[in-house]
Structure 1
Amino acid sequence: MSDEKPKIGQFYWADITVENPSELKEFYKQLFGWEAMELPMKDGDEEYADYVMTIDEASAAGGICHHKGPNKGIPPQWIPYFYIDDIEKALQDCLNLGGELIKENRKKDGTLSFVIVKYPQGAIFGMGNLI
């Protein structure tokens, strides 16, 4: 997949969190011909795999995730992510503009890796810098 860094504010990823991602993975494989790469995950002592879905070797399609571990509490819908350098500042700006925090995910050092927020009129989107 591309190593090119997105621009600030650019859509750079989309994923969906569901109870049975293996079933949904097969749906998109059959519907669009997507391929799945397993992404090792952990929830406490439990190990499992989420899926990075690809169109071909160079083109990511999105992620299909289990509704547990770092993805617990994320709504079961496709969520687009905007690339942001300073997630803390972007989150504070969003809240100041009337947005609502739905989910945050922090790295081991305590800094934010991504957030999911709700726009004042109800749309949900993510902001992060995971590449």
Structure 2
Amino acid sequence: MAPAPAKPVPGWPGWIDLASPHTETARAFYSDLFGWSFYTLSLPDYGDYTVFSLGDVQGPEVAGMQGLADDSQPPSWTCYFKVEDLRTAVDAVKAAGGRELTPPADYAGLGSMALCMDPEGADFGVARLGNVIEFGAANRPSTMCWAELACRDTGRARRFYGEVFGWRAVECEYHGSVYTNWELGDRALAGMVSMDHGWPPQYPAHWIPYFWVDDCDASAARAAELGAAVRIPPTDVRPGRYAMMTDPSGARLAVITPRTTAGPGGAA
């Protein structure tokens, strides 16, 4: 992800949060792996919500976490994208072929958000500009620096996200494979990979966050020691060296050591 605009801009990642069946385990895992601290907010009608911060508890906010709504919900990270008006954004999602999973709602004065699903079945969120809870830090070590969509019909995904957020899909080739960068203006903010025959047939489309680490190999090894399953071992790609894993509860994430100080988007 290239350096974010100085002021919030619609269409950019604005927040991520984790739904986990074992919040205590997740707190320990991410605090050790990324050096995060955390505090817990008790939200009327919504229960406890964990806010992760960079460094100590007074540091900038980098992510959130809540328990699973029910046993049928899989552990997962949700990426939220900034919008000016939630109702307009959700209507655009539905008009482009997506679904509204939860209607726009205000979470105890911390922010207004809604959950959606794209036509490929990947969940994501939209968050109103100016929320109290949004990234205090991103695109720097120990924070999210990239978001990536994995899906099967990349053409349909291009049309959908172009209509909803105004993103432009730019393809690049690397070692015989095609990778798509999502761009807004002159900045890359996310990517997309095609789920080809190498993926299990029933594996769902999904968004996955990438976290910036100083040493990909050391972070992947430490994650495994902490109970993660490393699905793709440290591998060199054009933007840097990355590894993909599931945390101890099964939520997907990736770590990357970028080749440039601009982050993955600046090197893509």
**TM-score class, shorter:** 0.7 to 0.9
Aligned partner of 1:61: which letter?
Answer: L
- How do 1:47-126 and structure 2 match up within 5 A? 49-58=178-187, 60-68=188-196, 72-73=198-199, 76-104=205-233, 106-107=235-236, 113-126=241-254
How many matched pairs?
121
User: Which has the higher relative contact order, 1 or 2, with Cα contacts under 8 A spaced 6 or more apart?
Assistant: 1
Which 5+ residue runs of structure 2 have no aligned equivalent?
A: 5-137, 259-263
Aligned partner of 2:251: which letter?
Answer: A
| Residues 1:12 and 1:52: Cα distance change in structure 2 (over 3 Å) | same
Deviation readout 1:7-54 (Å, 9 max, x if unpaired): 2211000111222212211110011111111112344xxxx5321111
Shift of residue 105 of structure 1?
5.2
**2:158 aligned to which of 25, 28, 31:** 25
Which 5+ residue runs of structure 1 have no aligned equivalent?
A: none
Aligned partner of 1:26: which letter?
Answer: R
Task: Report the TM-score when normalising by structure 2.
Answer: 0.40
**1:36 aligned to which of 169, 188, 195:** 169
Shift of residue 107 of structure 1?
2.7
Deviation readout 1:67-114 (Å, 9 max, x if unpaired): 259xx5496310100001111110111011111112235238xxx821
Q: In percent, how many aligned pairs have the same letter?
A: 20
Q: Which has the larger radius of gyration?
A: 2
Task: Report the TM-score when normalising by structure 1.
Answer: 0.76
Moved over 6 A (4+): none
Distance in 1, Cα, partners of 2:247 & 2:192? 23
